[in-house]
Chain A
Amino acid sequence: AQSVTQLGSHVSVSEGALVLLRCNYSSSVPPYLFWYVQYPNQGLQLLLKYTTGATLVKGINGFEAEFKKSETSFHLTKPSAHMSDAAEYFCAVSGRGGSEKLVFGKGMKLTVNP
Chain B
Amino acid sequence: DAGVIQSPRHEVTEMGQEVTLRCKPISGHNSLFWYRQTMMRGLELLIYFNNNVPIDDSGMPEDRFSAKMPNASFSTLKIQPSEPRDSAVYFCASTLRLAGDTQYFGPGTRLTVL
A residues bordering B, Cβ < 8 Å? 32, 34, 42-46, 49, 51, 90, 94-104, 106-107
Contact = CB atoms under 8 A, between A and B. Distances in A.
Contacts, number: 57
Q: Is the interface of B mostly helix, strand, loop or mixed?
A: strand
Contacts of A98: 98-99
Which size bracket describes the interface of B in this complex? Answer: 20 to 34
Contacts of A49: 100, 102
B25 interface: no
Nearest to B9: A41
Q: Is the interface of A mostly helix, strand, loop or mixed?
A: loop
A101 B43 CA distance: 14
B26 to A, nearest CB: 12
Given A107-B42, A107-B43, A99 B55 contact: yes
A43 B98 contact: no
A46 B96 CA distance: 14
Contact of B45 (A101, A106, A107): A101
